[in-house]
Structure 1
Amino acid sequence: MRFDLTDLRLFLATVETGSITRGAERSAMVLASASARIKGMEDALGVPLLLRGRGGVSPTPAGHSLAHHAALVLGQLEVMVGELASYAGGLKGQVRLLANTAAISEFLPDLLGPWLAEHPNIDIDLAERPSHSIVRAVAEGTADAGIVADWANSEGLQLLPFRVDRLVLVLPRGHRLAQRRVVAFEETLDEPFVGLAEGTALQAHLALNAASSHRKPRLRIRLGSFDAVCRLVAGGAGIGVVSDTAFRRCRRSMAISRVALSDSWAERQLGICIRDLAKLPAHARKLVEYLADQRS
């Protein structure tokens, strides 16, 4: 059997996105060609690589194995290219970086803008994932690095300190709970909630913690950012859970209050999760070292 690098990149993109269509788009390939390539890989191996369903695709055990080895091969190729490019006037490449909701919305934009401007030949493939999914992706080699909460089991990986993130309950001013200094998340579940979009890491985390009480938040609306959540909370649509940094920014222009959450998961140390800093491609290592230097 013979797989070329295009096959490997396409298959890895398909597994990462859970969709042949999105995998084809990421690989700059038409859908028919992408489907034919994946079918050809399955025929060559004699086993199915993907489970196809109405909601997308997921890898079979053989597909998991192929994705793992594809990531290793492509990662090693990037190491080689990066090292050779350094002889030709600068690093080149793409860094696969995963992060949770707070990191993407509150911390990374201000850090990545100047870094990208300083490194015009390096691109960043940034995606949001829950911490446990990020750890798995880094361990399997489908991501170069990830920013995760400290509760995620990162055993066997390196974890560099990054930021402290506190989740708080955001309320309209005058709300009955605004008189409290601290509240347990479980106590809020009878209130109407303004939540984040389905699939966001924080919303999945809140749903998981509510499920431990055999309940779920009553979501009135889902929005795409902390700022949008705060705006609707200020308008009286409900209450929400946001990063404290987002609350402090939004309170300057919005009629909102906050109450601390007593739950242990509400205060999290965010870390940069990697397999081995020394073995990262040069351009990925440069980004990780930069982010680690910006910790506070």
Structure 2
Amino acid sequence: MREISLDRLRTLVAIADLGSFAEAARQLNLAAPTISLHVAELEARIGAPLLGRARGQVRPTAIGETLLARARRLLADADLALDEVRRQVEGLTGRVRLGASTGAIAHLLPQALEHLRVDHPGIDVQVQVLTSQASLGRLREGTLDIGLVALPQVAGKGLTVTPWRRDPILAYVPADWQPPAKVTPAWLAQRSLILNDSSTQLSRVTGEWFAAAGFYPEPRIELNYNDAIKSLVGAGYGATLLPQEGEAGELDRRIARRPLRPGLWRQLGIACREGQMERATGYVLQALERLRQ
């Protein structure tokens, strides 16, 4: 059986509202025979008359009234759906899926989202905590729109990765350890360490920093939640190497933050799929660009 067309229902509603086939034809900009055909098709599909004439006006039958009530709701829902899609196409609304590390989410992303809320309040950003490799994988699958990833990365076919930020990596040390003005691999390798695990780009970068000086320390704890690492440092449980993300905020007085010698940097990039993107995704990228270094 054929489904009932929304166009046919729209014709039925117009006739019922205007009380005339001719007036409905004019309003819908259709030929009179087309209007009659729409009604005939509906009645054939339902198996009962939907309209009758009374005192020169077209009136719905009881069955027609039942169908009209449903038709009005269906047409309203269809119009609402089209309006929502139109607003999303125009970038007035939309959902953007973004993946990033906990540090970037906590210290960088809020600044971008604040700009986005002011300029494009109808855009909803859904944030997921993901490693760089996981973000790239989700982008390839089509289940993510933007990834904030640690560089370098091989984007692979269909993806682009552009440099975004270059933040210094600092030593976070219990203050009562009395660290030097600049922390070296030799000084830090002799102490308890709390570091990111080997699945992260930060682990590889810091490992190379130690190795260049001939040190290969084993961390006391491996943890990929930077704020939790800082809490453990504040408790005196070990030292760590973490990027300075965003503006330097208020630091726990139990923690001393020191630059490294030689210096070390964490580079971030923005990964997304090649080709045309939805406007909402473009607006999120514009907000992130405001934090570019």
The TM-score, its normalising length taken from structure 2, stands at 0.56
Paired residue for 2:122?
121
Paired residue for 1:179?
180
Amino acid at match of 2:278: P
Task: Check the 8 A contact 1:135/1:153 in 2, yes or no.
Answer: no
Task: Check the 8 A contact 2:148/2:268 in 1, yes or no.
Answer: yes
Distance in 1 between residues matched to 2:187 and 2:237, nearest whole Å? 18
Determine if the alignment matches structure 1 residue 281 to structure 2 residue 278: yes
Paired residue for 2:265?
267
Task: Check the 8 A contact 1:94/1:123 in 2, yes or no.
Answer: yes
Of 276, 286, 291, the match for 2:288: 291
Cα distance 1:114–1:85, how it changes in 2: closer, same or farther (>3 A)?
same
- Alpha-carbon shift at residue 95 of structure 1 (Å): 0.6
Paired residue for 1:105?
106
Cα distance 1:103–1:261, how it changes in 2: closer, same or farther (>3 A)?
farther
The TM-score, its normalising length taken from structure 1, stands at 0.55
Determine if the alignment matches structure 1 residue 230 to structure 2 residue 230: yes
Cα distance 1:174–1:285, how it changes in 2: closer, same or farther (>3 A)?
same
Cα distance 1:195–1:250, how it changes in 2: closer, same or farther (>3 A)?
farther
Cα distance 1:152–1:203, how it changes in 2: closer, same or farther (>3 A)?
closer
Distance in 2 between residues matched to 1:291 and 1:246, nearest whole Å? 12
Amino acid at match of 1:269: Q
Task: Check the 8 A contact 2:108/2:246 in 1, yes or no.
Answer: no
Amino acid at match of 2:289: A
Distance in 2 between residues matched to 1:90 and 1:282, nearest whole Å? 5
Distance in 2 between residues matched to 1:247 and 1:174, nearest whole Å? 25
Determine if the alignment matches structure 1 residue 168 to structure 2 residue 192: no
Seq. identity, %: 23
Distance in 1 between residues matched to 2:143 and 2:124, nearest whole Å? 16
Distance in 1 between residues matched to 2:287 and 2:91, nearest whole Å? 17
Amino acid at match of 2:92: L
Distance in 1 between residues matched to 2:266 and 2:148, nearest whole Å? 12
Task: Check the 8 A contact 1:91/1:121 in 2, yes or no.
Answer: yes
Distance in 2 between residues matched to 1:94 and 1:206, nearest whole Å? 34
- Alpha-carbon shift at residue 130 of structure 1 (Å): 1.7
Distance in 1 between residues matched to 2:283 and 2:190, nearest whole Å? 47
Could you tell me which runs of 5 or more consecutive residues in structure 2 were left unpaired when the two chains were aligned: 1-81
Distance in 1 between residues matched to 2:250 and 2:204, nearest whole Å? 23
Name the SS for the 1:237 alignment partner: coil
Amino acid at match of 2:173: L
